[in-house]
């Protein structure tokens, strides 16, 4: 019988799965709906059933399962709170062992797991210590040092989006704080900055439902106001990553999420502000774009058990 490994990434809308060979080749991927009702009590049974269905279809053996979840996780695989999928405190690892009969199961925070995936097969290939930052609706962070995820004692390691970068902010971040990186470097943050003080001579002035892509596209086209906003975005992110470098001194930074699709313009500007704000010994780290998109999670998840 063939031997398979499963990587799964539990999100607020879908659970993504990948089936991998022993050597880490992805053989198939699929997804199911995430049923968040009733404190998400169906999620793990659904995951186990979907894996069993695939196993039976292939008539193979499951040798290991790695799972990424959207919240803080301890090294023992206990989730402390997952608001996105309505989980209370839950021992994910032992529950899944019980449901699947597979002993080799590991659970990680989704941002850390995505970082592991990018380091293994994506933008962080060839490195051993990276900081990955995901610029989407929010700003997520995952840190890998010497090949191992930095989890932290409460599973809150790598929460870069909530480091403080501005003292004079008046609006509140989703976390209740003021001046968090997420307020400037997320897609939402870029739009927020662009809308506040929007100049009528900017091409952005005519756009309804402005997106971060609109702002970055306008900047690429030379719109002066959009360039100012992009510069502010890059300055906050560059300084925040400089602060992170002074703490963990990684080899490289990997930038992912929707905002990163703007490409090299982001990397170049962020890198400049980073280098302007770090100690000499920390200059000239590698800056890379993420490459795996939504698959980073399933790659990283399976990597934990391979």
- Interface residue with a copy of itself, options 175, 221, 224, 264 (CB under 8 A): 175
- Our finding on whether 89 is near a copy of itself (CB under 8 A) is no
Indicate whether 217 belongs to the interface with a copy of itself (CB under 8 A): no
Contacting residue, 50, 104, 137, 243, with a copy of itself by CB under 8 A: 243
Phi then psi dihedrals of residue 263, to 5 deg: 85, -145
Region from 14-22, 42-50, 164-172, 193-201 binding a copy of itself, contact rule CB under 8 A: 164-172
Kindly indicate which of the ranges 43-51, 53-61, 152-160, 262-270 contains the residues binding a copy of itself, using the contact rule CB under 8 A.
Answer: 152-160
Name the nearest CA neighbour of 124 among 140, 147, 107: 147
With contacts defined by CB under 8 A, name the span among 16-24, 31-39, 213-221, 247-255 that binds a copy of itself.
247-255
Place of tokens 């999100």: 11
Minimum distance from CB of 203 to a copy of itself (Å)?
29
Task: Please identify which residue in 8, 51, 133, 160 interacts with a copy of itself, judged by CB under 8 A.
Answer: 160
Cα 44 versus chain centre, distance:
21
**Under rule CB under 8 A, how many of the chain's residues touch a copy of itself?**
42
Residue selected from 112, 134, 163, 260 as contacting a copy of itself according to rule CB under 8 A: 163
Interacting span for a copy of itself (CB under 8 A) from 13-21, 97-105, 151-159, 196-204: 151-159
Our finding on whether 281 is near a copy of itself (CB under 8 A) is yes
How do 3-10 and 78-79 pair as beta strands? unpaired
Burial of 89 (0-12, 13-18, 19+ CB in 10 A): exposed
231 binds a copy of itself (CB under 8 A): no
In angstroms, rounded to a whole number, what is the distance separating the alpha carbons of residues 294 and 299?
10
Q: What angle do CA 45, 49, 50 make, to 5 degrees?
A: 120
Q: What is the DSSP string of 236-276?
A: HHHHHHHHHHHHH--SEEEEESGGGGGTHHHHHHHHHHHHH
**Does the footprint of a copy of itself cover residue 88 (CB under 8 A)?**
no
Interface characters, 107-136, with a copy of itself (x: CB under 8 A)? ----------------------x-------
Note whether 248 binds a copy of itself by CB under 8 A: yes
Contact 4, 62 (CB under 8 A): yes
Residue range at the interface with a copy of itself (CB under 8 A); choices 23-31, 95-103, 160-168, 221-229: 160-168
What are the residues whose beta carbons fall under 8 Å from the beta carbon of 161, sequence distance 6 or more?
A: 138, 139, 140, 141, 180, 181, 182, 185, 186
Binding a copy of itself (rule: CB under 8 A), the pick from 277, 288, 292, 297 is 277
**Rounded Cα distance, 237 and 153, in Å:** 25
How big is the chain, counted in residues? Answer: 306
- Residue 158 engages a copy of itself in binding (rule: CB under 8 A): yes
The token duo for 20 is 């991998």
Cα–Cα distance for residue pair 271/274, rounded to 1 Å = 5
Query: Is residue 159 a contact residue for a copy of itself (CB under 8 A)?
Result: yes
Contacting positions for a copy of itself (CB under 8 A): 72, 80-81, 129, 143, 145, 150-160, 162-164, 166-167, 175-177, 239, 242-251, 277-282
């Amino acid at each position: 019988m063939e031997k398979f490994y499963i990587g799964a990434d539990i999100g607020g809308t879908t659970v993504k799965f990948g089936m991998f060979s022993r050597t880490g080749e992805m053989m198939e991927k699929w997804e199911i709906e995430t049923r968040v009702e009733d404190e998400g009590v169906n999620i793990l049974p659904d995951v186990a059933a979907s894996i069993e269905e695939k196993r039976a279809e292939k008539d193979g053996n499951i040798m290991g399962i790695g799972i990424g979840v959207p919240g803080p996780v301890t090294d023992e695989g206990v989730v402390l709170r997952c608001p996105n999928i309505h989980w209370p405190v839950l021992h994910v690892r032992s529950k899944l062992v019980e449901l699947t009969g597979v002993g080799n199961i590991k659970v990680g925070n989704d941002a850390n797991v995505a970082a592991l995936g990018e380091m293994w097969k994506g933008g962080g290939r060839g490195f051993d210590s990276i900081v990955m930052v995901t610029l989407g609706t929010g700003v997520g962070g995952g840190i890998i040092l010497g090949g191992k995820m930095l989890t932290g004692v409460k599973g809150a390691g790598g929460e870069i989006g909530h480091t403080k970068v501005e003292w004079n902010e008046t609006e509140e971040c989703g976390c209740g704080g003021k001046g968090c990186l997420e307020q400037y470097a997320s897609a939402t943050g870029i739009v927020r900055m662009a809308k506040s003080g929007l100049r009528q001579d900017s091409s952005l002035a005519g756009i309804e439902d402005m997106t971060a892509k609109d702002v970055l596209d306008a900047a690429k086209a030379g719109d002066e106001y959009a360039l100012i906003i992009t510069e502010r975005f890059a300055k906050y992110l560059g300084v925040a990553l400089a602060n992170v470098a002074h703490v963990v001194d990684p080899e490289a930074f990997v930038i992912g999420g929707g905002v990163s699709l703007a490409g090299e313009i982001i990397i170049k500007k962020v890198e400049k502000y980073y280098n302007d704000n770090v100690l000499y010994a920390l200059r000239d780290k590698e800056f890379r774009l993420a490459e795996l998109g939504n698959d980073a999670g399933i790659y990283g998840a399976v990597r934990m058990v391979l």
